[in-house]
């Protein structure tokens, strides 16, 4: 469908352009997308309700929903509310398992290896706190891991007397082997588990996790990947990655409503973990044993299916290519400009939609404030773990016109 017929079809639905983004906006159903249409990404952009007061380059926290998914989510809230306890007592469990199975399919895992959680925090904390630690065991993680995941290891250290070992991830590695070697050097005979970011949240650096997993396994060490920003962002297959544990936040790049994550545990490792919250039956040793979170908003679990449906309409690989393209669209223009520092590797295979850039003469906090106040561009400041700049995370609705504005703002700030 070209732009004109698309707008005509909106008119036929009674959605005039002025009213598209009113609170009663009807979802723009992205059926039968023609990806050869030159304005295809404009059509996709039109499926989102965007605030006109700033350019949102901070989707890394939460990728809010396209209208199509939002409307279906609201329908689920209504349906659950209508059925009340009847829904909860009859189909809730099967529905949640069905959504988890769909997520498993998306990430290349078996349904019995995946459960829905509230977020990455819950998924990874469950592993760190439920691990069969003995005093003197060692765990490795990095300076660029997420703060509260690092402090969960510190808590484990207090509780079980384990030793934590922190490595530094280079911002611009020469090769995969350089990174693998850094992790390898931190291993001792007491190392049990290493946490590795699949993609570093502050720079967008994608790590060679399969190679790190191979090396870890050769030393008898297990590997837990923090994939908070990976699912729905770029394509991968968990069995191919061969990690032991994996957590992700589905409200990030998969655009599931807030409060939804996933946990993967390799089949033969499930029995060795203790749950974060007690299940009803302590004898059960399945993923359900690990996953009793009590009563919670079930409409979110139902909307997982709609988010995956939306993702599949775009196509996972096509979305990945688009996200990488728009990141490179802006970062290639500023990488060599004096006064600016791009904190994301240049090799395209080491990043996707997220990157980080700093203006040398101002602090990250000042930079994000100037971007917002002067240029109406919303980002987040990062100042730590050797990274000084703003994280830039556009989404598939981001236009190159918006990125041109961002690039000219950066150029002006560098001057
Ligand atoms: C790398 C990484 N891990 C974990 C988290 C925690 O995610 P959540 O707050 O969804 O649990 C985040 C959040 O941004 C993150 O970037």
Q: pLDDT tens string for the chain (415 positions)?
A: 444 443 344 333 333 333 333 444 556 677 778 899 999 999 999 999 999 999 999 999 999 999 999 999 999 999 999 999 999 999 999 999 999 999 999 999 999 999 999 999 999 999 999 999 999 999 999 999 999 999 999 999 999 999 999 999 999 999 999 999 999 999 999 999 999 999 999 999 999 999 999 999 999 999 999 999 999 999 999 999 999 999 999 999 999 999 999 999 999 999 999 999 999 999 888 999 999 999 999 999 999 999 999 999 999 999 999 999 999 999 999 999 999 999 999 999 999 999 999 999 999 999 999 999 999 999 999 999 999 999 999 999 999 999 999 999 999 999 9
* Cα 175 to chain centroid, rounded: 24
* Class of domain 34-65+315-414 (CATH, top level): alpha beta
Closest ligand 1 atom to Cα of 202: 16
Strand 355-359 to strand 387-392: parallel, antiparallel, or no bridges (unpaired)? Answer: antiparallel
Interval between CA 127 and ligand 1 midpoint (Å):
15
CATH code, residues 75-310: 3.40.640.10
- b (16+ CB within 10 A) / e for 163-191: eebebebebebeebeebbebbbebbeeeb
Edge-to-edge strand order for the sheet containing 114-117? 114-117, 261-265, 245-249, 222-226, 191-197, 138-142, 163-167
Q: Do domains 34-65+315-414 and 75-310 have the same CATH topology?
A: no
| 213 φψ region: left (φ > 0), alpha (ψ -120 to 50), beta (else) | alpha
Sequence spans of domains, the chain:
34-65+315-414, 75-310
Residue 307: how many CA atoms within 13 Å on its side-chain side? 33
Q: Can you state the angle between helices 316-334 and 400-414, rounded to 10 degrees?
A: 30
Bridge partners, 247 (sequence order): 226, 263
C-beta 197 within 6 A of ligand 1: yes
C-beta 121 within 6 A of ligand 1: yes
CA-angle at 316, arms to 91 and 241, nearest 5°: 85
Residue from 200, 122, 203 nearest 387 by CA: 203
The torsion of the CA quartet 377, 383, 389, 395, rounded to 10 degrees, works out to: -50
pTM value surpassing 0.75: yes
C-beta 43 within 6 A of ligand 1: no
**Rounded distance, CA 213 to CA 228, Å?**
18
Mutational pocket test of ligand 1: of 146, 260, 300, the residue with most ligand atoms within 8 Å of the beta carbon = 146
């Amino acid at each position: 469908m070209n732009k004109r017929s698309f707008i005509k079809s909106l008119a036929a639905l009674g959605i005039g352009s002025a009213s598209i983004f009113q609170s009663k906006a009807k979802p723009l159903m992205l059926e039968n997308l023609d990806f050869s249409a030159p304005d295809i990404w404009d059509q996709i952009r039109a499926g989102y309700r965007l605030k006109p007061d700033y350019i949102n380059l901070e989707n890394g926290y939460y990728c809010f929903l396209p209208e199509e998914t939002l409307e279906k989510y609201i329908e689920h809230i209504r349906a659950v509310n209508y059925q009340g306890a009847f829904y909860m007592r009859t189909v809730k469990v099967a529905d949640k398992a069905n959504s988890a199975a769909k997520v498993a399919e998306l990430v290349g895992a078996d349904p019995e290896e995946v459960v829905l959680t509230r977020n990455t925090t819950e998924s990874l904390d469950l592993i760190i706190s439920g691990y069969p630690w003995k005093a003197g065991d060692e765990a490795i993680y990095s300076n660029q891991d997420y703060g509260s995941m690092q402090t969960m290891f510190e808590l484990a250290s207090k509780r079980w007397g384990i030793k934590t070992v922190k490595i530094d991830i280079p911002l611009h590695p020469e090769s995969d082997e350089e990174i693998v070697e850094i992790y390898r050097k931190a291993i001792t005979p007491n190392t049990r588990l290493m946490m590795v970011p699949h993609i570093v949240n502050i720079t967008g650096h994608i790590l060679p996790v399969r190679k790190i997993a191979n090396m870890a396994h050769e030393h008898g060490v297990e590997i837990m990947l923090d994939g908070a920003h990976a699912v729905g962002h770029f394509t991968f297959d968990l069995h191919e990655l061969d990690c032991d544990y994996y957590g992700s936040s589905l409200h990030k790049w998969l655009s599931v409503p807030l409060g939804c994550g996933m946990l993967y545990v390799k089949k033969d490792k499930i029995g060795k973990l203790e749950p974060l919250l007690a299940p009803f039956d302590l004898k059960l040793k399945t993923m359900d044993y690990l996953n009793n979170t009590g009563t919670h908003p079930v409409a979110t679990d139902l909307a997982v299916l709609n988010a995956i449906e939306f993702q599949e309409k775009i196509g996972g690989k096509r979305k990945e290519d688009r996200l990488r393209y728009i990141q490179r669209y802006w970062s290639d223009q500023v990488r060599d400009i004096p006064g600016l520092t791009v904190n994301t590797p240049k090799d395209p295979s080491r990043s996707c939609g997220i990157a980080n850039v700093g203006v040398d003469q101002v602090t990250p906090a000042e930079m994000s404030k100037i971007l917002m106040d002067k240029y109406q561009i919303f980002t987040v400041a990062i100042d730590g773990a050797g990274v000084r700049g703003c994280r830039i995370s556009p989404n598939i609705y981001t236009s190159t016109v918006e990125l041109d504005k961002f690039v000219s703002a950066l150029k002006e700030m560098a001057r």
